[in-house]
């Protein structure tokens, strides 16, 4: 399974992609709604000099062959 590397201008990944089961509805980085499927996710952290909004969040993606 190949992992995408979308360019983020306001955050950096904290760790690598890992497998996870979407047991509640989630939105992938390319705006697909996924629920009750195997996905990959990684934690993202906002740059320290930005203000407002959450400091960290999960970024999700689903392999194209599994869609």
Q: Is the per-residue pLDDT at 37 higher than 70? A: yes
pLDDT (mean) for 5-9: 80
Rounded to two decimals, what is the model's pTM? 0.80
Helix (H) or strand (E) holding 52: none
Examine residue 41 and state whether it is found in any structural domain, yes or no.
yes
Confidence bin at 63 (pLDDT 50/70/90): confident
Examine residue 37 and state whether it is found in any structural domain, yes or no.
yes
What range defines the domain where residue 53 resides? 11-66
- Residues 30, 5: Cα–Cα separation, whole Å: 12
Backbone angles phi, psi at 22, to 5 degrees: -80, 90
Examine residue 3 and state whether it is found in any structural domain, yes or no.
no
Average of per-residue pLDDT values in the chain? 89
Number of domains in the chain: 1
- Residues 23, 20: Cα–Cα separation, whole Å: 9
Helices (H), 1-67: none
**Residue % of the chain over a pLDDT of 90:** 75
- Residues 5, 31: Cα–Cα separation, whole Å: 15
């Amino acid at each position: 399974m190949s992992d995408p590397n979308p360019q983020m201008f306001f955050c950096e990944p904290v760790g690598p992609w890992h497998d996870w089961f979407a047991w509640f509805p989630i939105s992938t980085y390319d705006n697909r709604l996924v629920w009750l499927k195997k996905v990959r996710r990684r934690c993202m952290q906002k740059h320290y000099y930005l203000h407002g909004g959450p400091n960290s969040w999960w970024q999700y993606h689903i392999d194209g062959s599994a869609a």
